[in-house]
Amino acid sequence: MRDRIIRYRADPALSREQAAARISAYVYGNILVFAATVPLTVDNLHHGHAALLVLGTAVSTCVAHVFADVVGHNVRSGEAMSRAHLWHELRDAFPIVTSGLIPVLLFVAGGQEWIPGRTAILLAEGYLLLRMALIGLLMERLRSKRASFRTMLSGFALAGAAAAISLLKVALGH
């Protein structure tokens, strides 16, 4: 029972390549959504701009990611991607969209003044930093390995690097 709770395993049929694609999408989505979140202000929440910006970032990044994979597949194989393969690409890119869901809900709540706007922004940023810090655990889960203290430390290091990349994007893009 303890092993089932502590060692949550991904689908055993998940190939190493699919696991890598999902981790890549998870990291990429978190970085871009965090970068979209950092410059937001409370005023952005009140007219819905923040929620739309983050939702648009997550969805458009996912679509761009899948499009790039389709083009790359065509270059590698010389033939069009099958529907089944396209479905797998969409599934592997879905972590990009999930990175924006909670921040969007928080921004809607802040915009409606169900929670204070500054709290909504801080919670969204904290949530994204936590997601980035859990990258190490996610990697171990997708590899079906037991997480260790070292895994947690590597997750925090990866989170720091991802946050730095996000801040670099904000600095260069705004």
pLDDT of 92: 87
| Count of Cβ atoms closer than 10 Å to residue 77 Cβ | 10
d(CA 127, CA 99): 9
From the list 156, 138, 165, the residue with the least C-alpha distance to 24 is 138
d(CA 49, CA 4): 42
pLDDT of 2: 46
From the list 73, 53, 63, the residue with the least C-alpha distance to 25 is 63
Helix axes 16-37, 117-133, angle to 10 degrees: 150
0.85 exceeded by pTM: no
Is there a contact between 152 and 141 (Cβ–Cβ < 8 Å)? Answer: no
Residue 159 confidence class, pLDDT cut points 50, 70, 90: confident
pLDDT tens per residue, range 129-154: 888 888 877 777 666 666 677 877 88
